[in-house]
Amino acid sequence: MSQEKPQEEDFELWLKTRFIEQVWINGHKFRITKKGDIEIDGRIYTVEEARYLYRLIISKNPLEVLNGKFLILERNGTLIRILQVIAVIALIIVFVIVRR
């Protein structure tokens, strides 16, 4: 039997009982809002989106875990900031090389 199945059952139980307000899963804070949505790292997701992201970040496939982390970063706005910093650094490098 796969190890992921019991973990998914635990997540479903957490969604149904709402006894614990928040849980940390692989460095991401999952919290149930009063409206019944799920807040992940400060942004609101539907229950179905949260289930999908949960499956991604607990996966044994590193590409699925990375995809889940990118989806969370993108929704939170962090990914665009990271890309902006990388773009500025690349422009500085190009400017330095061209000036020589």
pLDDT higher at 6 or 75: 75
pTM: 0.74
Percentage above 90 pLDDT, the chain:
56
User: Burial code of 73-91, b = ≥16 C-beta within 10 A, e = fewer?
Assistant: eebeeeeeeeeeeeeeeee
Residue 61 φ/ψ, nearest 5 degrees: -80, 115
Under the banding of pLDDT at 50, 70 and 90, the label for residue 12 is: confident
Distance CA 30, CA 23 (A): 5
Alpha carbons 76 and 53: distance in angstroms, whole number: 14
Q: Which domain holds residue 69?
A: 4-99
Residue 70 structure tokens: 């990118």
Number of domains in the chain: 1
Please indicate whether residue 1 or residue 48 has the higher confidence score (pLDDT): 48
Q: Residue 6's pLDDT band (boundaries 50, 70, 90)?
A: low
- Cα–Cα distances (Å) from 12 to 8, 9, 74, 89, in that order, read 6, 5, 25, 43
